[in-house]
Chain A
Amino acid sequence: MSGQDCAKDISATIVAAAAARTPLAIHGSGSKRFLTGAIDGAALDVARHRGIISYEPTELVLTARAGTPLREIEAILAEKNQMLAFEPPHYGPTATLGGTIACNLSGPRRPYSGAARDFVLGTRIINGQGEILKFGGQVMKNVAGYDVSRLMAGSYGTLGVLLDISLKVLPRPAREITLKFEMNADAAIHQINAWAGQPLPLTAACYLGDTLYVRLSGTDKGVRAAHIKLGGEHDSRSDAFWQELREQQLLFFAGDTPLWRLSVPSAAPLLDLPGNWLFDWGGAQRWLRTSANATEVQRAAGAAGGHAILFRNAGRPAPAYPSNAIASRLASELRRAFDPSAIFNPALSLT
């Protein structure tokens, strides 16, 4: 397996930065910079720390360095008919594994198979003191010590630099089809949640422009039997649709109107907000193009039992997350426990 291990080099940079209290802006390929905008600090390039370290198809485990391009990983998995079952969005041709895990990004399969964090088995990281630490491992079950590896998922580099990541991988289904159903939004939310409560081989569900798109995956006969049960019109360009949804390349995502991501209970009734909607994740992830003000959007999401963030933010500072004071204090303490000198992406607030 090729690539290079830059752990010692990166560690030395961190030790020096901690001593001088120099803020570091961790970056891989930059494909997800739009999520946070530019971050102040000396650039710490982790994309050069790259390469697949091991891949054992019969163990369902792959370990790769954080800078490894997602494309490279997906290609080697495809050779063995396996996949990253959280269907990570790339948001660009150069996306790395490290960025994907640091942002905990997951695609349409997420509600049915799990998020990026669910597939993380182990990590090697560098904390804010430059120490190289290993947590978790390469086995499916491991409860020794706190689950630091999963904590790293979605921490946007504020707790440490991800070096290596071990992931659980899964076989690709033998067959996938997409069915289309015309219905209104209320009916779609109800229908997809009702189906999700039945033993059906569902692996994606999206509602866009009066149409509910449902993906079925499994064995040939299993998928066919489910199709007969559900009815609906077979959509022949299904792979392209789900990929364009995942990569935000559908027409819905074009243009300058602010794009909000609302994470709500999947069966939450329609929210009373102006704008255009796209429902993914069977209703649990709802995209909204709206000019409504931030408070209004966040309040509506909160009232539905969820939260909202401005997603494609064009570098403007993101509005603060609604959170309570105790949780914020604990998050700050936790951050300090990993990065006492406050050098990792200090401008980013996750509290």
Chain B
Amino acid sequence: MSQPLPSDTTSARLPLRELAQQLRRFLPHAALLDTPEDLHPYECDGLSAYRQLPGLVALPETIEQVQQILRLCSAHRVPVVARGAGTGLSGGALPRADGVLLSLAKFNRILEIDPLNRTAIVQPGVRNLAISEAVASQGLYYAPDPSSQIACSIGGNVAENAGGVHCLKYGLTVHNVLGLKFVTIDGELVTLGGKTLDSPGYDLLALFTGSEGLLGVIVEITVKLLPKPERAQVVLAAFDDLEKAGHAVAAIIAAGIIPAGLEMMDNPAIRAAEDYVHAGYPVEAQAILLCELDGTNEEVSEGIAQVRTLLTNQGATEVRTAKDDAERLRMWAGRKAAFPAVGRISPDYYCMDGTIPRKHLATVLKRISELSREYGLQVANVFHAGDGNLHPLILYDANKPGELERTEELGGKILELCVEVGGTITGEHGVGMEKINQMCVQFNSAELTQFHAIKTAFDPHGLLNPGKAVPTLHRCAEFGRMHVHGGKLAFPELERF
């Protein structure tokens, strides 16, 4: 992809080769990588279109080692990019040629499970799903479930404020983390929160969650655990019109029901998923809704009956309740496999992550289909309908000259559309490197300046993940000019509330 490399430069005072020598004084030999073949696996994260070999890769095993690494990097003004499992979709862990990639992969232990307080203390490299697996025998689980939960790390989840399909009812990462330990760029260890529900002083826990590695390096996390619901049940409804499906979502919410999951797919996504996993989806439908309720047996029974009636009244052409858990999982399989399913029908696809107020769904999807025609690129849409988080998947072929660039431009247009209707350029994937230009659309220069001031409070020399998440004003000025030249967006003061 026409990769927007971090634009601001830092001025390292020490060649990386000499830094490596100093790091070797306290890091085991295998914990520092500097040959091209060793560095290669770290050149990208889940957004593989953006690649950059890191200068060095450090794989510390202890908090003390992290502190020493950061102290050295700080003293010599060397940029540091922290990395968890590398599954992020926004290029947040894209390395720097002039810096150290700090992998937290060896911080992979669950330190404590406290069933009565319903908390777990974990290291940042622990996989999201591993937490739920470790506490399952206690009847507990960790609620946020990003689709990559089998592979993604909890440290990365905190850095990105990861979501998932159950956010509307159970919240994002920020609602499910009680405490953190992080190391500052100067190598100081700071503890935030713990097992209590609040802490004195500023809510730095909220500030850190979703800060994309720009403020500190997270080395320990205390998460909240929830009791596993007694029962979960899903209803599938088909619609011959997207707008009707959108109204059905509003009707469910208006009736006072908060589903555990409420997902929508459009026709291209339905067809791709059905061809791939044979979930039994109605392939003629313009939209399907998957509505899952959980809770006690009695609550779920009552709720499902109510949801079925609502969906029928909203004009669903078919309403189907999973008869057993096997059917429930089959219904979900299609949704969960939507990305790889689209991957099968197109040489490449590009996943977007905007959030919109749900009432604008029909308008936004219509505009997306217009843009899709204009750019000659097919788009399939999957949608966390309950919380308004839209994932348009743009189908393209990287081998066709110019298609990549058109895809990227179309993606940018879709994100700007989300902002225009009062939404945001990223619901759960983060800004990283990928959406850095669109930040200039969502925020004005005073707001961006405030973000930079926050960054400076924690990292005065701008060494932690520089160039990501928050664009420089200079970059925005250039981006703005580019758009004015294109004659498509005059960079107006957009209403965001």
Contact = CB atoms under 8 A, between A and B. Distances in A.
Nearest to B253: A58
Contact of A305 (B196, B200, B201): B196
Given A133-B446, A143-B429, A330-B457, A265 B194 contact: yes
Contacts of A144: 424-426, 431, 435, 439, 442-443
A140 B450 contact: no
Contacts of A222: 295-296, 298-299, 302
A201 B296 contact: yes
Given A111-B197, A197-B116, A138 B422 contact: yes
A155 B203 contact: yes
Interface stretch (A42-50, A167-175, A271-279): A167-175
A196 B118 contact: yes
Contact of B227 (A61, A198, A331): A198
Best-buried of B230, B251, B254, B450 by chain A (most CB within 10 Å): B450
Contacts of B302: 219-222
A281 interface: yes
A147 B298 contact: no
Contact of B450 (A56, A81, A133): A133
Given A144-B426, A174-B256, A331 B118 contact: no
Contacts of B140: 197
A336 B198 CA distance: 23
Interface in A55-86: 56-61, 63, 81-82
Interface stretch (A113-121, A207-215, A231-239): A113-121
B227 A199 contact: yes
A219 B145 CA distance: 26
- Kindly name the residue among B191, B195, B497 whose own CB sees the greatest number of chain A CB atoms within 10 A: B497
Interface residues of B, number: 96
Interface in A176-198: 190, 193-194, 196-198
Contacts of B167: 140-141
A336 B451 CA distance: 13
B152 to A, nearest CB: 15
B116 A190 contact: yes
Interface stretch (B56-64, B75-83, B355-363): B355-363
B109 interface: no
A171 B206 contact: no
B454 interface: yes
Contacts of A96: none
Interface string A258-271: 00000111110000
A305 B355 CA distance: 38
Interface residues of A, number: 94
Given A137-B423, A166-B497, A196-B118, A150 B206 contact: yes
Given A134-B496, A140-B355, A338-B453, A117 B139 contact: no
A143 B190 contact: no
Contact of B188 (A135, A190, A197, A326): A326
A259 B429 CA distance: 44
Contacts of B220: none
Contacts of A60: 253
Given A134-B447, A170-B258, A306 B196 contact: yes
B388 interface: yes
B458 A81 contact: no
A307 B199 contact: yes
Contacts of A29: none
Nearest to A350: B201
B141 to A, nearest CB: 11
Contacts of B297: 225
A118 B171 contact: yes
A108 to B, nearest CB: 12
Interface in B185-224: 188-192, 194-204, 206-207, 209-211
Contact of B296 (A82, A200, A265): A200
B99 interface: no
A65 B173 CA distance: 27
- Most chain-B CB neighbours within 10 Å: which of A124, A145, A200? A145
Nearest to A327: B190
Given A197-B140, A284-B196, A324 B253 contact: no
A115 B197 contact: yes
Interface in B273-303: 295-299, 301-303
A118 B210 CA distance: 14
A218 interface: yes
B451 A199 contact: no
A142 B203 contact: no
Contacts of B190: 324, 326-327, 330
B203 A267 contact: no
Contacts of B472: none
A321 B200 contact: yes
Given A155-B203, A351-B201, A141 B389 contact: yes
B424 A127 contact: no
Given A199-B227, A330-B190, A331-B201, A266 B457 contact: no
A100 interface: no
Given A148-B450, A305-B196, A330-B184, A141 B387 contact: yes
6 contacts: A132-B446, A143-B428, A147-B209, A172-B256, A326-B188, A333-B456
Given A118-B174, A159-B202, 9 more contacts: A53-B497, A63-B497, A143-B160, A143-B431, A144-B443, A151-B202, A200-B296, A225-B298, A265-B114
Interface of A: 53, 56-61, 63, 81-82, 104, 110-111, 114-115, 117-118, 122, 124, 127, 131-135, 137-148, 150-151, 153-155, 159, 164, 166, 170-172, 174, 190, 193-194, 196-201, 218-222, 224-226, 263-267, 281, 284-285, 305-307, 309, 321-324, 326-327, 330-331, 333-338, 350-351
**Closest 10 pairs between A and B when the two form their complex, measured CB to CB:** A171-B256, A222-B299, A150-B206, A140-B387, A141-B427, A333-B457, A265-B195, A337-B453, A58-B250, A321-B200
